[in-house]
């Protein structure tokens, strides 16, 4: 049974209305990716967050009224909450409280397929939940299903902090082995003289579709956020030049939780040890400029800002001729492609080889 969700979109400081609309769109899409139905949304202007509840009493009363009106059983906040704020809000409103990081973690838990992916998600979950283990309080009462309650680490939440810390140490050790293994694989490719390209981009920009179109790979493709968690490396060969290795990576997102970046460092290192970073942007999105900026910010956080980069504007099959001219004017350095229609790929390959 799907959760009925009321979104709480927080405006802090001088954020303007278009930004809030973008946040609402993204939070709605994230909620749907977590199998939730958005039945209501409220905007709260919070110049100075309350240490106890984040929002103030009048807005809490509004939330209670909206819960009664819509039957919502989950409140999802567009910001991160402290354990105290989440616990107090849950007591005041009588429904489950999920913050932005908790929501993204839930989606990652649903998407994890490989043992490596599950370990990385579990590590991020545990590091997030450890300070939230409060006996029979907000977190412990949640076990049993719904957004923010599931994942590879779910069965571990009832043990005490000492055992959880021990589990975290174990997972970190396993991920260190994963990191070593991936490094050895990359070294082997280098010894064969293969050039490597990391495909990065905002989540749902079409990275996996591009990997498939270029290499005939079978990377999982679906029109939803974070469809890919496990990086896949495939080879491109056309007989007209040096073979190229392409690696698909986990999608980026605005304010990607730092814990996730750390947990996925073993796989995100593919971006650091590559010859070229191919940034894929959804050209049909009205937020294309912001999405490119977010990707660049995450790359900077990873320490990859100095790597050679190439920009590909994907999904141009959804644009008319006038829109194509406009978007090319916004990104004059970009290659226009359509991964689904396999258009512009030869131009892309030519530009990639020019950088080597």
**Structural domains of the chain, with CATH:** 3-100 (3.40.50.11060), 105-171 (no CATH), 194-355 (3.40.50.300)
3-state secondary structure at position 39: strand
- pLDDT at residue 137, as a whole number: 39
Which H or E run contains 232?
strand 232-236
Chunked mean pLDDT (size 10), the chain, 356 residues: 91 65 88 92 87 88 93 93 91 92 87 79 84 51 54 52 85 86 78 85 89 76 55 80 83 76 70 89 92 89 88 95 93 95 93 88
- pLDDT at residue 332, as a whole number: 95
DSSP character at residue 141: G
- pLDDT at residue 218, as a whole number: 64
- pLDDT at residue 143, as a whole number: 44
Collect all residues with Cβ–Cβ distance below 8 Å to 314 and sequence separation of at least 6: 201, 205, 206, 209, 210, 280, 281, 282, 283, 337, 338, 339
**Which residue matches tokens 């909206």?**
66
């Amino acid at each position: 049974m799907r959760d009925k969700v009321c979104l709480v979109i927080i405006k802090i400081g001088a954020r303007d209305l278009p930004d809030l609309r973008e946040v609402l769109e993204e939070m709605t899409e994230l909620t749907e990716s977590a199998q939730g139905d958005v039945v209501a949304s409220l905007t709260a202007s919070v110049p100075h967050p309350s240490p106890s509840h984040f929002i103030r009493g009048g807005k809490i009363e509004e939330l209670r009224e909206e819960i009664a009106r819509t039957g919502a059983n989950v409140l999802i906040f567009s910001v991160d909450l402290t354990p105290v704020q989440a616990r107090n809000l849950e007591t005041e409103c009588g429904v489950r409280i999920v913050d932005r990081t908790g929501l993204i973690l839930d989606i990652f838990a649903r998407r994890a397929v490989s043992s490596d992916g599950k370990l990385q998600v579990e590590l991020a979950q545990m590091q997030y939940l450890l300070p939230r283990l409060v006996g029979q309080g907000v977190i412990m009462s949640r076990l049993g299903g719904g957004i923010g309650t599931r994942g590879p680490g779910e069965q571990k939440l009832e043990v005490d902090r000492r055992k959880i810390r021990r589990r975290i140490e174990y997972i970190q050790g396993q991920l260190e082995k994963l990191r070593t293994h991936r490094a050895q694989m990359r070294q082997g490719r280098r010894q064969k003289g293969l050039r490597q390209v990391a495909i990065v981009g905002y989540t749902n920009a079409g990275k996996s579709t591009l990997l498939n179109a270029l290499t005939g790979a079978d990377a999982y493709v679906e029109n939803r956020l974070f469809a890919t968690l496990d990086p896949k490396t495939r080879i491109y060969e056309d007989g007209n030049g040096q073979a190229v290795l392409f690696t698909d990576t986990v999608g980026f997102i605005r304010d990607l939780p730092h814990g996730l970046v750390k947990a996925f460092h073993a796989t995100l290192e593919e971006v650091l040890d590559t010859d070229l970073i191919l940034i894929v942007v959804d050209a049909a999105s009205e937020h294309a400029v912001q999405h490119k900026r977010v990707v660049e910010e995450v790359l900077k956080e990873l320490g990859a800002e100095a790597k050679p980069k190439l920009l590909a504007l994907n999904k141009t099959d959804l644009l008319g001729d006038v829109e194509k001219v406009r978007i090319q004017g916004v990104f004059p350095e970009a290659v226009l492609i359509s991964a689904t229609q396999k258009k512009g790929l030869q131009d892309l390959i030519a530009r990639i080889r020019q950088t080597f």
